[in-house]
């Protein structure tokens, strides 16, 4: 008996009279979301198909337009150059000290750069003035 009544019912006319906004407003969306199994949905997602649809070239171009890549490279290389110069400077200072110590040992100098006293000669005096050196030939002199 119910079946003949449903067959005679114009369901489209009934649904057209329903206020769907009011019906949806009565739904507790938080409770509905709590019932969703997100892992089960994620297991059904084909990640490879999604990645294949991504236009990486366009995304890369957009990212490069957003950042000033030349400025980043300039700042990075400038910082690296400054660090390199400082490192070379420090290495040169260490090498200079090493050469000074080696010269001090070879010349038997004490830590202050003065040569030691030699037995029987007394303390070292000042360096003698430079001599005249070898003769310089003149252009007008006969050979």
Say what the pLDDT of residue 40 is: 93
> Which distant-in-sequence residues (6+ apart) come within 8 Å of 69 by Cβ?
none
Instruction: Tell me the pLDDT band of 37, cut-offs 50, 70 and 90.
Output: very high
pLDDT in tens, 16-32: 899 989 999 999 999 99
Residue 8 carries which DSSP code? Answer: H
Instruction: Tell me the pLDDT band of 35, cut-offs 50, 70 and 90.
Output: very high
Instruction: Tell me the pLDDT band of 141, cut-offs 50, 70 and 90.
Output: low
The answer, yes or no, to whether residue 114 has pLDDT greater than 60, is no
pTM attached to this predicted model: 0.28
pLDDT in tens, 49-107: 988 898 988 898 888 888 877 777 777 777 777 888 888 888 888 888 888 888 888 87
What gap in Å lies between CA 32 and CA 23, rounded to an integer? Answer: 14
Say what the pLDDT of residue 126 is: 57
Q: How far apart are the first and last CA of the chain?
A: 147
Per-position b or e across 12-31, b if 16+ CB within 10 A of its CB: eeeeeeeeeeeeeeeeeeee
As a whole number, mean pLDDT of residues 4-10 equals 80
Alpha-carbon 96 to chain mean position: 33
> Which distant-in-sequence residues (6+ apart) come within 8 Å of 104 by Cβ?
110, 111, 113
């Amino acid at each position: 008996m119910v079946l003949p009544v449903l067959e005679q019912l114009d369901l489209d006319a009934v649904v057209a009279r329903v206020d769907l906004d009011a019906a949806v407003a009565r739904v507790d969306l938080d409770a509905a979301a709590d019932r969703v199994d997100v892992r089960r949905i994620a297991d059904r997602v084909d990640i490879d198909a999604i990645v294949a649809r991504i236009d990486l070239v366009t995304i890369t171009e957009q990212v490069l337009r957003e950042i000033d890549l030349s400025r980043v490279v300039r700042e990075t290389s400038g910082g690296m150059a400054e660090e390199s110069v400082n490192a070379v400077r420090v290495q040169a200072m260490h090498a200079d000290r090493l050469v000074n110590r080696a010269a001090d040992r070879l010349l038997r100098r004490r830590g202050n750069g003065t040569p030691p006293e030699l037995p029987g000669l007394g303390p070292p005096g000042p360096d003698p003035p430079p001599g005249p050196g070898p003769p310089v030939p003149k252009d007008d002199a006969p050979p």
